[in-house]
């Protein structure tokens, strides 16, 4: 089954404790992306990756890091989480590269609470 898998689905942690949210897709997609969803703000892009070792900032990259060492995986790293990063996070992938013509496949979301 084609899917995007995020882990963990839920996490409560404390300020400053490094965490990683994993994202893996089994569709051999080149494009992957991270979004955060906040009330009243919709989904905003954090980082995206066009291919292995090719990443770029989205609209709200501050406080986040990503890596793309393999095509299937695109982890989101919070080196020193802060309460303003409490949010619902989505990973997505797409078969497209330069032009997003196809719908993105989304993971089920990760709800992070930073105390």
Partner 1 sequence: AQKVTQAQTEISVVEKEDVTLDCVYETRDTTYYLFWYKQPPSGELVFLIRRNSFDEQNEISGRYSWNFQKSTSSFNFTITASQVVDSAVYFCALSEASMNTGFQKLVFGTGTRLLVSP
Euclidean distance between CA atoms 36 and 30, whole angstroms: 20
- Does position 45 interact with partner 1 (CB under 8 A)? The reply is yes
Q: Which of residues 80-99 bind partner 1 (CB under 8 A)?
A: 88, 90, 92, 96-99
- Does position 77 interact with partner 1 (CB under 8 A)? The reply is no
48 vs 74, which CB is nearer to partner 1? 48
9 vs 82, which CB is nearer to partner 1? 9
Cis peptide preceding 55, ω within 30 of 0: no
- Does position 11 interact with partner 1 (CB under 8 A)? The reply is no
Helix (H, G, I), strand (E, B) or coil at 39: coil
Euclidean distance between CA atoms 28 and 6, whole angstroms: 16
Euclidean distance between CA atoms 23 and 86, whole angstroms: 18
| Interaction site with partner 1 (CB under 8 A) | 33, 35, 40-45, 48, 50, 56-58, 88, 90, 92, 96-104, 106, 108-109
């Amino acid at each position: 089954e084609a899917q995007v898998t995020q882990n963990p689905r839920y996490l409560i942690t404390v300020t400053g404790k490094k965490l990683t949210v994993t994202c893996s897709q089994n569709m051999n997609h080149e494009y992957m992306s991270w979004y955060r969803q906040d009330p009243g703000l919709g989904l905003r892009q954090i980082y995206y990756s066009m291919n292995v070792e090719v990443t770029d900032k989205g609209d709200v990259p501050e406080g986040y890091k990503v890596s793309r060492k393999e095509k299937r995986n695109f982890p989101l790293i919070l080196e020193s989480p802060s309460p303003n990063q409490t949010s619902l996070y989505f990973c997505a992938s797409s078969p497209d590269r330069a032009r997003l013509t196809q719908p993105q496949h989304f993971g089920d979301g990760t709800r992070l609470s930073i105390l």
